[in-house]
Structure 1
Amino acid sequence: MTKAPARARNSHVWERDKFDHYVEPEWIGNALFGALDLPVGTVVLDPSCGWGRLLRGAQTAGLYALGSDIVPRWNDKEAVNFQTVRNDRGVLCLRPSLVQADWFASGDDWCPSTAPGWREPQVVASNPPYDRAEEFLELALTRATMMVVLILPLRWIAGDRRTARLETSPLYKLMPICPRPSMPPGSAIASGTRVEGGKVDFGVFVWLKGYRGAPQIEWLRKPAVARGRRVRSA
């Protein structure tokens, strides 16, 4: 059994994971791409896809999902078992393409794939490594052609230096996540440790290339009944 990272007594704050592999609840991907309502076939790249939970949401929304990570975590038994499916609107949703790659490598060297969509994805959507989130965002705004969507702590909207940068960026929408999600390291989930009860507020930050207005606020809420889209085998 995988050993869970230590945490302080009576605390819900985990020791930092080496690669910042923190896992969002499964419902977030479905709710997020349902709210964004992107056109079917839009190319969505998650460069730190981990177990593929956001990719599952993109896939079942009928989007062309691509995923990469510095560690191929899609081979873990906890990862999403992707299949080609049809969603509840009858749209054929292809299995995401997955490649081991380092998003922070310079230029086009970051990705070994030359297949369509990888070098110029329409949307970059991710739960990025938080210790390098600002660098991640800068690269995403350069490489995405349409939109950048990142799950980040809500404290990102505070602080002089960061807010000054946000004010000059094409920040289109802020979506506080409700209820407050638990975002434990993947190793805690793999070990079977109970991971409920998040203590940090998170939101989805959406940047739209070319947008110049004030950012909008829209709450991303957990569905009351359905936890995801119904799918059937293709």
Structure 2
Amino acid sequence: MSSGELSSAATRHPWDWYVEESWVTQRLIETLHGPLCGSYDDWFAGDLIWDPCCGMGNVLAPFMELGITVAGSDVQRRTSSPQFLFEHDFLADQSCLLDHWGPKSIVFNPPYSNQNGHKVRGLAEKFIRKAIALHANTVAALLPVKWLASEGRHTLFNEHVPRFVMILCERPSMPPGDVVAALGDNAFKHGKVDFMWVVWHRHVDLEPGETRTIWIEPRPKVRKVRK
């Protein structure tokens, strides 16, 4: 993905740190456990949920509320939340972690193009391939919808066929993490980019073309009461 697809290279956060709202993960969990996802209704059971680029921890918060064990890591500490365990480069060696962790799923909002201010081609794909290679039971990646349309990623989707593509019909706001505090109540308003969850499950074998697309309906509108 080119850096210009979401914002200009000059204005992107140097680590592609963009903050999703927790409702985005809540909708993922609800949809996976709902009737649209077929007979397999035991998603995440017994798994540790790992977000390797956890930022403020918003992806992990809904799992914690359900009593599911979570682990957050990132290349830099960006939160004081207890789910953040350590600073760690996900694309580096993982053997020190895997020796101590049991069954796991990886749920994350991966960076797309920037690492320490430098453009890295195919960065999100590198993260996804690494997550799949670590034998996570479920891999769920939050990505812009336009990420599906790519000659280069055709190979990824044929080698590792997603179980689901879940399109968020409500656009989430995704502000850079370093401006959230300054924006205050306006930080999570007026989303401009369409996002989706792409979900892989290693115990379900699919052929290319068998991926199911699901449209996640918007949250109910809150009616304002006139005073």
- TM-score (norm. length: structure 1): 0.73
* Residues 21 and 125 of structure 1: CA distance in aligned 2, closer, same or farther (over 3 Å): same
Residues in 1 aligned to 2:105 and 2:22: alpha-carbon distance in whole angstroms: 20
* Aligned residue in 1 for 2:85: 98
Q: Alpha-carbon deviations, 1:99-140, whole Å to 9, x = none?
A: 22110113426x5x85434xxx52111001112101101100
Q: Which runs of 5+ in 2 are unaligned?
A: 1-5, 34-42, 114-122, 223-227
Query: Post-superposition shift, 1:39?
Result: 4.8
Q: Which runs of 5+ in 1 are unaligned?
A: 1-11, 76-80, 83-95, 227-234
1:205 aligned partner, one-letter code: V
Residues in 1 aligned to 2:7 and 2:136: alpha-carbon distance in whole angstroms: 36
Query: Post-superposition shift, 1:48?
Result: 0.4
1:30–1:56: 8 Å Cα contact kept in structure 2? Answer: no
Residues in 2 aligned to 1:197 and 1:225: alpha-carbon distance in whole angstroms: 14
Name the SS of the counterpart of 1:103 in structure 2. Answer: coil
Are 2:137 and 1:146 equivalent residues in the alignment? yes
Name the SS of the counterpart of 1:217 in structure 2. Answer: strand
* Aligned residue in 2 for 1:44: 49
Q: Alpha-carbon deviations, 1:73-115, whole Å to 9, x = none?
A: 122xxxxx55xxxxxxxxxxxxx46222110113426x5x854
Residues in 2 aligned to 1:148 and 1:102: alpha-carbon distance in whole angstroms: 18
* Aligned residue in 1 for 2:14: 18
Residues in 2 aligned to 1:39 and 1:47: alpha-carbon distance in whole angstroms: 16
* Aligned residue in 2 for 1:27: 23
Query: Post-superposition shift, 1:20?
Result: 0.8
Residues in 1 aligned to 2:216 and 2:58: alpha-carbon distance in whole angstroms: 16
Residues in 1 aligned to 2:196 and 2:136: alpha-carbon distance in whole angstroms: 22
* Residues 25 and 52 of structure 1: CA distance in aligned 2, closer, same or farther (over 3 Å): same
Q: Alpha-carbon deviations, 1:136-170, whole Å to 9, x = none?
A: 01100011331110001111211222123212313
Q: Alpha-carbon deviations, 1:27-60, whole Å to 9, x = none?
A: 1122212222325432211000111111111222
Are 2:182 and 1:197 equivalent residues in the alignment? no
Are 2:186 and 1:181 equivalent residues in the alignment? no
* Aligned residue in 2 for 1:59: 64
Q: Aligned-residue CA RMSD in angstroms?
A: 2.4
